Amino acid sequence: MESKEERSRRQVANTNKYEIRFLGSFKDGMVWNNTNEPYIDLKERIFHIVGGTKSSEHLVPVGGTMWDRFSVPKKLMKVIRLVRE
């Protein structure tokens, strides 16, 4: 029997991967609150898009689970291309 984490990772892996360029404040990555501890390294640029709202997209890094999901305003990101393996 697979755990919730394994199931979530498998569900995310079944979605398409996209190369994304971040703009504005997201360009340099994200940190926890006002610390210098990195939260997500955005230099990788390959993410799964797992939903979103009218004004934002929910992204998951490659190999991540739904718990690793974060939101980016659509106006601060640009989808470059669909990544095929």
> Structure tokens of 5?
């984490």
Residue type, 40: I
- Written as six digits, the tokens of 54 are 């009218």
Distance, in Å, from the CA atom of 36 to the CA atom of 1, rounded to the nearest integer, reads: 39
Domain assignment of residue 30, given as a range:
4-83
Token duo for residue 20: 């994304």
| More confident: 85 or 33 | 85
Judge if pTM exceeds 0.85: no
The CA-based angle 31-77-13, given to 5 degrees, is 80
Q: Each residue of 25-44: pLDDT tens digit?
A: 776 666 656 666 666 667 77
Answer whether residue 23 shows pLDDT above 90.
no
Number of domains in the chain: 1
Which CATH number characterizes residue 17's domain?
2.30.30
